[in-house]
Amino acid sequence: MATGQIILTRKLRYAIFLVLTINEGGEEQVRETLEGLSGRLRTVSSRNPDAALAAVAGIGSAAWDRLFAGPRPKLLRPFTELKGDVHTAPATPGDLLLHIKSDEMDMCYEVGQILTNDFGDAVSTVEEIHGFRYFDLRDLTGFVDGTENPTGDEALEAILVDGEDPGFRGGSYVTIQRYVTDFDSWTSLSVGEQEDVFGRSKAENIEMDDDVKPSNAHIALNVIEDADGNELEIVRDNMPYGQISGSGDKGTFFIAYSKDPDITGQMLEKMFLGDPIGNYDRLLDFTTAVTGNEYFAPSVDFLDELPPAPTRPAPPAPATPPRTSPSDGSLGIGSLRRDT
């Protein structure tokens, strides 16, 4: 049975999120680095086993066909921009995702540095975000984040691809977005107004009753159900990030794992387009999505023994220049050149 990458952990204190694009001709180096990921993690983990180091590698839709021949995860697709009447969830570049987490930032940093050195010039870094846990699992708005995550076997059921796509059993789909929060606007609200935005009490983290919860509250628009009314779940591992001073961004790095990316997609549609249309997530008036990507995180077995690389078309034969009459009595061999 395929072994999944270590996605489900306790709430670790730190994370680094690296979003990369693959440079032309860098595919083989990327493959070698992905195959070496497990070994790199074991080496660094041995230096501080109590730090609970973990890392997840995700591969984007366009990058998949550049790296691997044969079948691909059947639900892997590019992130689709969602443009509502007021707010937009943009789609931004990203071929690879590295989600590195630990109780110690030095462990995250070491793995990130080793892997970027391994990738070398084969990739370009689009974004590097350093996240941290904030008090009792709150984000920078002061509200607890990830309250509705499933646990135990329910969490495994929510995130791992099963027999419906047997070639990729044990993998998981990943959606990421980085949100920038307008804290001047947010802190201008009273605590009661902030609670209406979330649909929860701020201090106690208690969900409002349905008869008083605003229809555009954040948690009201994050519930997805199947045709039978059963709630469909994802696992979020969001992290706050940001600078204390200056003009640097601060907010939340959203990351969701699921066995079906359509569940996360439907949630985002409700948030940005509204349910019904126009009744969008009130939280978006205070925090703006600036990135958006989707990936597939394959099993450890897949990464340890990658499928063959795609067959590249043979390069065209060098063009033969027209024959000329040499003026020096030679056969004209010196006039030939080889195109590469």
Name the residues annotated as catalytic.
Answer: 145
| Helix axis angle, 105-119 to 27-35, nearest 10° | 140
3-class SS of residue 333: helix
d(CA 285, CA 239): 20
d(CA 165, CA 59): 17
CB 180 within 8 A of CB 165: no
Q: Does the bond joining 318 to the residue before it have cis omega, within 30 degrees of 0?
A: no
d(CA 81, CA 280): 15
d(CA 33, CA 121): 12
Q: Identify which of 265, 255, 176, 307 has the alpha carbon closest to the alpha carbon of residue 7.
A: 255
Q: Hey, how many other C-beta atoms are within 10 angstroms of the C-beta on 21?
A: 16
CB 141 within 8 A of CB 253: no
